[in-house]
Chain A
Amino acid sequence: MFEYGTTLAASVNSDTQQIARSLRQGNVIFLQQLVGQYQYRLVRYLIYLLGRRDEVDDLVQETWLRVLERGSSYNGRSRFEPWLFTIARNLAIDHLRKGRTFSLDSNDEGEQDTALQTPASHAPSPFTLAARTEDAERLAGSLQLLEPIYREALVLRFQEELSLQEISGVVGAPVATVASRIYRGLRTLRSRLEGGNHEI
């Protein structure tokens, strides 16, 4: 058995306070350092969220501008990543809602009706292009078909190593719902990896 140890207590320290202080002061140099540090993770998160690559760069740029403008709202008492991803998520949702009828969020608490897919892109799947291992190649197709909310839960838990409480804060859903999304995502991908067909 292995553990994804929560590091919340260790992370809420002088680093987060320094980030909060610098954002409050509008320190552009420091913000640019944050860009270099978190850029890839932000891109990855948005790709998982949207399931496409072509609109991510604009959202990344907009996210950092929003960080600059609203930096004073980050208090440094929690990790920076959940706050950053929350901003990115809200921008992605606004982007999807503009002139579209799609939503990332499920309207059914029981999640019988899963969230609608983002519109299909004719571009190659970003997961297929990004797969570097054999298992990743096998998972790429299923990831593309997986509901955005399940993909999001998986990347936040297993790639960003956010706690369930932190993920709950980012996505605006109860912890139990977050856990349920992780389970369903895992089960779907597990069956794919094992070669079975699992109804999404």
Chain B
Amino acid sequence: MRSDDHESFQRRIDETLAGEIAVGEEESLREHLGSCTQCQEYLAAGTRVIAGLGGFSFDVDPALQEKVYASISLRAQRIESRQPSRRRMAWICITALLLSAAGSFIDLQFGGLIASVLDMHRTQMRHGLLTFWILPSFCFLLLFPILPLLSHRKERVL
């Protein structure tokens, strides 16, 4: 058999060992291996190499695992401390919602009364409540769920 035929089959042997050979080529390779001693030896040598790679056993320092555990715990604590807890977030959102609602209620029910006591026009009173109470509360309500996401994105970039 010509040497380039052997090279072709040896290439297929490599493909088989790497797990890449097509089904049709594998069949023709089987047939060839049935009669070609050279390629049989080539396959055997490749198999032996792969088996040889399994003959290594690397020492792992037992202290490394403990060291990794400790560093993971420490890093997790730092990450946790940078993120507001969910419960705190929930309370802040509820408070912001209640403040928004309270401000709106006061404006609707008592706006006229407060305006007359303070000698202000009703519209001015409403604008004041909106600007300094209702809108800031509402903004807190919207922003606080978003802030952790923004800080998390910043951490990932870093």
Contact = CB atoms under 8 A, between A and B. Distances in A.
A200 interface: no
Interface in A162-188: 163-164, 179, 182-183, 186-187
Interface in A8-60: 26, 28, 31-32, 35-36, 39-40, 43-44, 47, 53, 57, 60
A164 B76 contact: no
Interface stretch (A86-94, A114-122, A151-159): A151-159
A140 B14 CA distance: 21
A21 B54 CA distance: 33
Q: How large is the interface on A (under 10, 10 to 19, 20 to 34, 35 or more residues)?
A: 35 or more
A36 B55 contact: no
Contact of A136 (B55, B65, B68, B71): B55
Given A39-B64, A44-B58, A164-B20, A1 B49 contact: no
A135 B73 contact: no
B72 A47 contact: no
Interface in A133-147: 133, 135-136, 138-140
A36 B54 contact: no
User: Which of B51, B53, B65, B72 has the most C-beta atoms of chain A within 10 angstroms of its own C-beta?
Assistant: B53
A68 interface: yes
B73 to A, nearest CB: 6
A65 B72 contact: yes
A3 interface: yes
A137 to B, nearest CB: 8
Contact of B49 (A6, A40, A47, A189): A189
Interface in B63-105: 64-65, 67-69, 71-73, 75-76, 79-80
A39 B65 contact: yes
A183 B18 contact: yes
A72 to B, nearest CB: 8
B45 A133 contact: no
A47 B46 CA distance: 22
Interface stretch (A77-85, A97-105, A123-131): A123-131
Interface in B6-32: 11, 14-20, 26, 29-30
A194 interface: yes
Given A64-B68, A189-B52, 11 more contacts: A39-B68, A60-B68, A65-B71, A68-B79, A69-B155, A132-B56, A135-B49, A164-B20, A179-B15, A186-B46, A190-B49
23 contacts: A1-B43, A28-B73, A36-B65, A43-B64, A61-B68, A65-B75, A68-B72, A68-B75, A68-B79, A69-B75, A69-B156, A130-B59, A132-B55, A135-B48, A136-B52, A136-B55, A179-B15, A179-B20, A186-B17, A187-B14, A190-B48, A190-B49, A193-B48
Interface of A: 1-4, 6, 26, 28, 31-32, 35-36, 39-40, 43-44, 47, 53, 57, 60-61, 64-65, 68-70, 73, 126-127, 129-133, 135-136, 138-140, 154-155, 157-159, 163-164, 179, 182-183, 186-187, 189-190, 193-194
